[in-house]
Amino acid sequence: MNFGFYTLSAALLALFAIPLIIFYFLKLKRPRIELPSLALWRQVMNDTRVNSPFQKFKRNILLFLQLLLLLLLVLAAMQPFWHGASDRAERLPILIDNSASMGALDKEGGATRLQTAKERVARIIDGLLPEQELALISFSNTARRRTGFTNNKRVLREALADIEVEDVPSDIEDALRMAQAMGRAAAFEEVLLISDGNFPDRANFDLSFKLNYQRLTPAGANIGITALNARRSVSGMWDVFAQIEASAESDLSALVEVEQDGARVARDSARISKGKTQRMVFRVSGEKASSISVRLVPDTFDSLASDNTAFLDLPAARSLWVHASTALPAFRHSLAAIGGIFLHPEDGVGKRADRYDLLITDLVPEMEIEARTSLYIGLVPDDLKPLVEIFQAGSGIVDWRRAAPLLQHVELGDLIILDEPRKKADAEEKSFENLGYVVLAHGRRAPLLLEKRSGDRLQYFLLFHTDRSTLPYRVGFPILVSNLMQIAMTEAGISEAHGNRTGMLPPLKLTAERTYRVEQPRGGVVETTADATGAVSAVPAPFTGKYVVKDGNTQVKVGASVLSTSETTLAGAHEIRFSQGLTVGASETPAKTDRSLWKYLALAGCALLLVEWWFFNKRPRGA
Amino acid sequence: MDNTSQKPQLTSLLSNATLDRLNRLRILPVRKLTNLNRGEHYAGKEGTSTEFADYRDYTPGDDMRFVDWNAFSRLHRPYLKLYHREEQRHVVMLVDASTSMRFEDKLDRAKQIAAAMGVMALQNNERVSVYVSRKLQKGMPQRMPPSSGRANLKKLFTFLEGIEGGGNEPLEHGIEQMLQYHSGKGVCVVLSDFLTFGDMKRAFNLLFSTGLELLGVQLLGPSELNPEITGDLRFVDSETQQTLDVSSAADLLAIYHEYRAAYEAEIAALCQKRAGRFVSVSAQDSVESVVFDWMRRKGWIA
């Protein structure tokens, strides 16, 4: 049976019919009207009683209407509902995707995917029965709990209304983990996932509940920018690379406009269809730091607007500041062959940089020199001293990471080393990782080359001295130095620039321990404080556009854009594969929900009252 | 200049202007019902009035004074001139003054119409008597004895003005009681709402057999012509105090109108079968409208 009552005990309210009937007959007092004569009316009544089968009914129509009204109210109080689903969940977490692709329209002037999802959830909230509880979780690249389990419809509706599209790619795992965490406090069997399916179809998650994956109908055609970066050319200009992709099977065309600091510097047209990638290159000036914005103007309907703009911040052209210890002639000799650098301390620069782009040293005092990228030779950092110890003994490299940027194309086999780092007795491989080190080259008894990133600093530790090895005499040595230079240039941001993605702003170097206001493109404001080194990091950037970071005197503008192939192509996963081999398929039909009927009965009761009022106050016929 | 406006008001029932108009009118009965008393109405038989009626052959014994000597000189045969006989007609009026007539000026309008008819009758040398049907009691009813002549106008007005409503006498009973005291042929004007539980057939038969031509005037108030009622009600009869519970009264109005029309048609048919006439008017209509419009158009008066 698809029909039921939630509060069957409310049927006892029907007992009110007894006093209603009693009071009706006790209190029935008809208005008295004195007439000249009843001669005609008596004949009328006699005739009516004979000919009208409903006369007795009409005599007590007021009682009948009152009983009918009571019946409707009792039925409403019993809270009848119509079963929409075969089984009814008492607690249901609902995961709502609010990533960038959910802002895509189905047609021109139509509804966004998120609006469609909200309508589905709103229907579920409307049909919520008193014993049922919902929890709302929205997710994009991270999940956010909007409500705990509640049956308060007002709270649920307000939370639902607060959900808005964030211009970031989606990641379902975070949302599933949050739902799983909620399940520890309040058990449930099923989770409802409403999304357009634009997330990785593989999830590293052990599913411990039934997942009802409601996939929204695909949005309309879309074209957008999926990548934006720049590389400095030999002439000192910047080559800006923009990647355009589309979601439609048929060709979509758009005009691509490039602006540098607000002035248009290039314009081109793009024509692309699904599965293809169009890369466009624009050459812009690189004399000074500038801000590049690439804007896509589609010729036809474009379902997603947030991926039509991308931003790129280009640093000013400058030489690399390098500090190489004078005790390392091999390194200095190799560096001197590379142009475009200021080599300290003997290069006659005339001044010492506050912070170097590259530091190469084998002296402990010089370890204090500030540099973005550092290579320490034959030096053991303090935190590694409990783990490793250097001995004077012959050694060699057992293995190395050939794909590491520093060691690309560097052959280290048959390298002779007269220093032998040895792990101490209680040191393990994992102990290095726990301290944040990545081992790039292994010796016989301990790591020989380590990498560590701390903040915006990248450090390499060579645990043997190159002067006591054959490394400076190897063909790979200048390659190693060249790799180090490339890494230093990349870290300094003067050789390449990448468009900032939404989600999190890139770390900024500002005044230490000062609080900044970050004005978001849609008007929101957040506050953040720079750390002791002046780094401002972990600033949320959920929307495409320019973010203004400022305090009283300083103002920095940083652009962020979607730059996601999956979001732009509106790819929709038809199924999700979980780590234990489980696969959950998508359903495109909305979940059937229980329909509460009490409000219809209450409306019928109100209508009945109006009918009763009209019936007893209507103008008599023929009057 | 309007002379009537300067005269003192003769009665509160009718204006002087109305009285002036009534002086020029007379009741027109269908039947020639007169009394032996000499009057101004042809009796349909030979008489001694000055109005020539016919000739007939002389027969021995006839009064020689009526022989037409001019005809005898031309024809050499005696012919007797016949003249109309003019007798007096009796106009009796029955005013229903029961409690039901006190509603919505029905009794006042009845008294005005009775006054108008009485003025016409008295001005035409007819005998006028007025009976009041009011209380269900034995004994002589309230009445104005037969009177004739213009000198009795004041008496008529005084009597009519003095009629008070109240009582529960059915109309048919009032007619029967009236006929116990009435004698003479003529016209009987019945002014009532005719709303009675009894059978009017017997009362009308008695009027017909007595030699009275019935002129029935039904007076109904707005609440009887177009009642505006709705909901569950308890009706109370003003005369008998009987009650009647009605539910959804608005639904019954259409049936009520059908019954009222049918009842009027029935009373009219009863009158017509007895050479009488019947009219139903609203108590809201003015007496001038009823007399000079309704009655003249229907040929009751001329």
List, for residues A214-262, the tens digit of each pLDDT value: 898 888 899 999 999 998 876 778 889 999 999 888 888 999 999 998 8
Once rounded to an integer, what is the mean pLDDT over residues A32-41?
85
User: Beta-carbon neighbour count of residue A28 at 10 Å?
Assistant: 12
Spell out which residues of chain A touch residue B250, defining contact as CB-CB under 8 Å: 618-621
User: Would residue A335 count as lying in a domain?
Assistant: yes
* Residue-range definition of the domain harbouring residue A517: 503-560
Assess whether A330 and A423 both reside in one domain.
Answer: yes
Of B100, B226, B256, the CB nearest to A37: B100
CB contact under 8 A, B234 and A32: yes
- A231 and A269 both lie in a single domain: yes
**What is the ipTM for the molecules in this complex?**
0.77
Q: Which residues contact B99 (CB under 8 A, 6 or more apart)?
A: A36, B165, B166, B167, B168, B238, B239
Could you tell me if A417 and A273 lie in one domain? no
Asked whether residue A598 is assigned to any structural domain, the reply reads no
Contact B250/A31, CB-based, under 8 Å? no
- Long-range contact pairs involving B155-159 (C-beta distance under 8 Å, separation at least 24): B156/B115, B156/B118, B156/B119, B156/B122, B156/B128, B156/B130, B157/B10, B157/B11, B157/B13, B157/B115, B159/B130
Interface of B with A in 208-227 (CB under 8 A): 221, 223-224, 226-227
Same domain as A478, residue A368: yes
Answer yes or no: is pLDDT of A50 > 70.
no
Q: Does the beta carbon of A154 lie under 8 angstroms from any beta carbon of chain B?
A: no
From chain B residues 106-125, the ones with a CB under 8 A of any chain A CB are 106
Residues of A in contact with B197 (CB under 8 A): 39, 42
Q: Is any Cβ of chain B less than 8 angstroms from the Cβ of A56?
A: no
For the cut 50, the answer to whether the pLDDT of residue A554 exceeds it is: yes
Residues of A in contact with B236 (CB under 8 A): 32-35
Disruptive mutation site among B107, B195, B226, B280 for chain A (greatest number of A CBs within 10 Å): B195
User: Which residues of chain A does B171 touch, with a Cβ-Cβ cutoff of 8 Å?
Assistant: none
* Residue A358 in tokens: 């590259």
Q: What is the pLDDT of residue A288?
A: 85
Tell whether A182 and A107 lie within a shared domain.
yes
A305 and A333 share a domain?
Answer: no
Of A54-63, A512-521, B250-259, the poorest mean pLDDT is in A54-63
pLDDT value, residue A13:
84
Is B238 near chain A, with CB under 8 Å?
yes
The verdict on a CB contact (< 8 Å) between A44 and B256 is yes
Cβ <8 Å between B259 and A40: yes
Domain total for chain A?
5
For A52, which residue in chain B has the nearest alpha carbon? B252
Same domain flag for A290 and A346? no
Tens digits of per-residue pLDDT, A556-568? 888 898 888 888 8
> Would A617 be classed as within a structural domain?
no
In chain B, where are the structural domains located?
38-87, 90-297
Query: Any chain B CB within 8 A of the CB of A619?
Result: yes
User: B-chain residues within 8 Å CB-CB of A28?
Assistant: 232
Beta strands in A424-514 (DSSP E): 437-443, 447-454, 457-462, 496-498, 503-504, 508-509
Residue B2: the pLDDT is: 47
Name the 3-class secondary structure at B129: strand
Q: Are B186 and B30 in contact (CB under 8 A)?
A: no
Pairs of CB atoms within 8 A across A/B: 119
- Do A443 and A352 lie in one domain? The reply is yes
Task: Answer yes or no: do A41 and B244 touch at CB < 8 A.
Answer: yes
| pLDDT tens column, A424-443 | 888 888 889 999 999 999 99
- Are A107 and A220 in contact, with CB atoms under 8 Å apart? yes
Residue B44: per-residue pLDDT: 60
Number of neighbours of residue A234 by Cβ within 10 angstroms: 5
Contacts of A42 in chain B (CB under 8 A): 197, 244
Q: Which two tokens stand for residue B1?
A: 């200049």
Per-residue pLDDT, A619: 54
Residue labelled with tokens 């012509």: B225
pLDDT of residue A66: 83
For B189, residues 6+ apart whose C-beta sits below 8 A from its C-beta are B91, B92, B93, B94, B113, B114, B117, B215, B217
Q: Which helix (H) or strand (E) holds B74?
A: helix B69-75
Q: Which residues of B touch A41 (CB under 8 A)?
A: 235, 244, 246, 256
Give the gap in angstroms from C-alpha A596 to the nearest C-alpha of chain B: 37
CATH number for the domain harbouring residue A404? 3.40.50.880
Is some CB atom of chain B closer than 8 A to the CB atom of A31?
A: yes
pLDDT of residue B1: 41
- Residue A210: CATH number of its domain: 3.40.50.410
Can you give the pLDDT at residue B4? 46
Q: Do A47 and B255 touch (CB under 8 A)?
A: yes
Which residues are CB-neighbours of A405 under 8 A, at least 6 positions away? Answer: A483, A486, A487
Of A486 and B138, which is predicted with more confidence? A486
Distance of CA A409 to the CA centre of its chain: 38
Output DSSP code: residue A592.
Answer: P
Q: Do A36 and B103 touch (CB under 8 A)?
A: yes
Specify whether A255 is located in the same domain as A150: no
Residues in chain B closer than 8 A to A37 (CB atoms): 100, 193, 195-196, 237-239
How far apart are the CA of A86 and the nearest CA of chain B, in angstroms? Answer: 49
Q: Is B133 on the interface with A (CB under 8 A)?
A: no
pLDDT confidence of residue A308: 92
For residue B235, what is the nearest residue in chain A, using CA coordinates? A33
Q: Which residues of B touch A621 (CB under 8 A)?
A: 250-251, 253-254
Task: Please tell me whether residues A215 and A281 are part of one structural domain.
Answer: no
Q: What is the mean pLDDT of chain A?
A: 85
Cross-chain residue pair B197–A33, CB shorter than 8 Å: no
In a domain, A536, yes or no: yes
Task: Measure B82 CA to nearest chain A CA, in Å.
Answer: 54
**φ/ψ bin of A356: left (φ > 0), alpha (ψ from -120 to 50), beta (otherwise):** beta
Closest by CA to A187, choosing from A133, A231, A234, is A133
Is residue A353 scored above 70 in pLDDT? no
Mutate to test the interface with B, among A41, A45, A48, A60 (most CBs of B within 10 A): A41
Whether B244 sits inside 8 A of A59 (CB atoms) is no
Per-residue pLDDT of chain B (302 residues; tens, 9 = 90+): 444 456 788 888 899 899 998 888 888 887 765 665 656 655 565 666 667 778 888 888 888 888 889 988 998 889 988 877 666 788 999 999 999 898 888 999 999 999 999 999 888 888 899 999 887 666 778 889 988 888 889 999 999 999 988 888 888 889 988 988 888 888 899 999 988 888 889 999 998 888 888 999 999 998 888 888 877 788 888 888 888 888 777 778 888 888 899 999 999 999 989 888 999 999 999 999 999 988 888 888 88
Question: Out of A346-350, A385-389, A486-490, B163-167, which region has the weakest mean confidence (pLDDT)?
Answer: A346-350
Residue A288 is assigned to a structural domain of this protein: yes
3-state secondary structure of A58: helix
Residue A189: is its pLDDT beyond 50?
yes
Q: A265 and A258 in contact (C-beta within 8 Å)?
A: yes
Query: If you measure CA to CA, which chain A residue comes closest to B260?
Result: A40
- pTM across the whole model: 0.53
Question: Cβ distance A149 to A186 under 8 Å?
Answer: yes
Instruction: Return the closest-CA partner of residue B130 out of B92, B168, B100.
Output: B92
Contact assessment for residue A310 and residue A563, using Cβ atoms and an 8 Å cutoff:
yes
Q: Which of A37, A43, A60 sits opposite B237 (nearest CB)?
A: A37
Of the candidates A395, A400, A393, the residue with the CA atom closest to the CA atom of residue A415: A395
Instruction: List A91's β-bridge partners, or say none.
Output: A133
| pLDDT tier, A601 (very low <50, low <70, confident <90, very high otherwise) | confident
* Domain contains A258: yes
**Which residue, A493, A523, A540, sits at the end of a domain?**
A493
Determine the residue of chain A that is closest to B256 in CA distance.
Answer: A44
Q: What is the pLDDT confidence band of residue A348, given thresholds at 50, 70 and 90?
A: low
Q: Is the peptide bond before A345 cis (omega within 30 degrees of 0)?
A: yes
Question: B193: which chain A residues are within 8 Å (Cβ-Cβ)?
Answer: 36-37
Q: Measured at the alpha carbon of residue A239, what is the angle toward residues A235 and A242, in degrees to the nearest 5?
A: 175
Chain A CA closest to residue B257: A622
Provide the CATH topology of domain B90-297.
Rossmann fold (3.40.50)
- For residue A55, the distance in angstroms to the closest alpha carbon of chain B comes to 8
Helix axes B200-210, B171-181, angle to 10 degrees: 20
| Closest-CA distance of chain B to residue A616, Å | 5
Q: Are A406 and A325 found together in one domain?
A: yes
Mutation target among B237, B243, B258, B280 for the A interface, most CBs of A within 10 A: B237
- At residue A441, the pLDDT reads 93
The confidence band for A621, taking pLDDT boundaries of 50, 70 and 90, is very low
* A9 or B263: which leads in pLDDT: B263
Strands A437-443 and A417-423: unpaired
| Residue A562 identity (one-letter amino acid) | V
Asked, for residue A610, whether it belongs to a domain, the answer is: no
Instruction: List CB contacts (< 8 A) between A61 and chain B.
Output: 247-248
Residue numbers in A near B253 (CB within 8 A): 620-623
CATH code for the domain of A309 = 2.60.40.10
Kindly state whether residue A17 falls inside one of the protein's structural domains.
Answer: yes
What are A127-176's pLDDT values in tens digits? 777 778 899 999 998 899 999 999 888 999 999 999 999 999 888 999 99
Cα distance between residue A174 and residue B255, in whole Å: 78
Number of Cβ within 10 Å of residue A332's Cβ equals 18
Q: Is B256 on the interface with A (CB under 8 A)?
A: yes
Nearest to A45 among B226, B246, B253 (CB): B246
Which domain-ending residue is among A465, A493, A521?
A493
A575 and A520 both lie in a single domain: no
Whether chain A has a CB inside 8 Å of the CB on B198: the answer is no
What pLDDT was estimated at residue A425? 83
Tell me whether residues B259 and A44 touch, CB distance under 8 A. yes
Q: Which residues of A touch B231 (CB under 8 A)?
A: 31, 616
Q: Do B231 and A31 touch (CB under 8 A)?
A: yes
- B195–A contact, CB cutoff 8 A: yes
Question: Using CA atoms, how far apart are residues A49 and A287, in angstroms rounded to an integer?
Answer: 107
